[in-house]
Amino acid sequence: MNLSEHIKFSPKVEQAIKENRPVIALESTIISHGMPYPQNVETAIACENIAREHGVEPATIAIIQGKLCVGLTEKEIDYLGKTGLSVTKASRRDLPVLIARKQDGATTVAATMIIAAMAGIKVFATGGIGGVHRGAETTMDISADLEELAQTPVAVICAGAKSILDLGLTLEYLETKGIPVLGYKTDKLPAFFTNTSEFNVDYRMDSAQEIADTISAQRSLGFSGGMLIANPIPEEYAMDAKVIDKAIADAIEEAEQKGIHGKDTTPFLLAKIVEITGGNSLKANIQLVFNNVRLASEIATKLQF
């Protein structure tokens, strides 16, 4: 089989691409493994609506019966949300197996970038990316998302990285791999639930146009990698740093005690943090994703095709 036989566009995304209208990618592990049901499905649908309000076609990406789907139906989104952790969390290594077995997979940032690039989509909004985990010097737990940013030409808009990760080491890794880290209206790397951290981004940019110009420049150089755009959670939705830091520390301790590792680590920590904060972290998470979809839509609109 060749590549085009593996990809399935939704009619709306196909039409938008044909008409040269802006399209942004959205991931699906955030639906199945990143949030509880039904908020996961409500958030995914709301994200699509926000993009459309900006005149941008959303392409939520997942693998359904072995097809790399670019654009999902509401039924498919609902299925991924309801099935939750029982859907395969699909990163780069999982794609060949899921295709061969004609199975379903919810795509991580890495896998979503791969499929977006195949579809010609340059901008992708998510919540948080995977990175270098705390303690990676012994566990070697470094997300495949970072390696993907190094090799796949898609700009990812996120709210920085959660402190379940080692933010300093994550930035070092991104620097080594030549991935620009841009802060939207900020000099500091936001820490997902909070809008700042002790770490600096590479460049502060105050307009979507400047970010779009930077993406265009990267593409015109023919570089293979992507870009990370860190968009701080709006102040009114940001969490208290002490509260969230304690929740994260407790979640990490429990994960260690239970021997959680590999691809289960991030979903376990995310769910634990929601539980410990009594759902407050989920509210913040939803709002920061909306905020990222808004910025991604503005950037996609301003990109020169």
Active site residues: 27, 162
295 binds, among Mn ion, ligand PSU, none (CB under 5 to 8 A by kind): none
User: DSSP class of residue 185?
Assistant: T
Render 263-284 in DSSP notation, one character per residue: GGHHHHHHHHHHHHTTTHHHHH
Question: Before 38, cis peptide (omega within 30)?
Answer: yes
| Segment contacting ligand PSU by CB under 6 A, of 1-9, 24-32, 70-78, 80-88 | 24-32
229 DSSP β-pair partners? 157, 182
Can you tell me which of 108, 186, 195, 214 binds ligand PSU, judged by CB under 6 A? Answer: 108
Nearer of residues 109 and 228 to Mn ion, judged by Cβ: 109
The answer to whether 145 contacts ligand PSU (rule: CB under 6 A) is yes
The count of residues in the chain is: 305
Question: CA neighbours within 13 Å on the CB side: how many for 256?
Answer: 13
Strands 105-107 and 57-64: antiparallel
**Cβ of residue 245: shortest distance to ligand PSU, in angstroms?**
15
Number of residues that bind Mn ion (CB under 5 A): 1
Identity at 70, one-letter amino acid code: V
Nearer of residues 76 and 166 to Mn ion, judged by Cβ: 166
Q: Which two tokens stand for residue 282?
A: 């989920």
29 binds, among ligand PSU, Mn ion, none (CB under 5 to 8 A by kind): ligand PSU
Q: Compose the 31-70 pattern: x for residues touching ligand PSU by CB under 6 A, - for all others.
A: ---x------------------------------------
**Cβ of residue 197: shortest distance to ligand PSU, in angstroms?**
15
Footprint (CB under 6 A) of ligand PSU, residues 225-284: 263, 266, 270
Can you tell me which of 22, 71, 81, 128 binds ligand PSU, judged by CB under 6 A? Answer: 128
Contact 270, 26 (CB under 8 A): no
Enclosing H/E stretch for 239: none
User: Whole-angstrom Cα distance, residue 236 to residue 184?
Assistant: 17
What residue ranges bind ligand PSU (CB under 6 A)? Answer: 27, 29-30, 34, 108-109, 127-130, 143-145, 162, 263, 266, 270
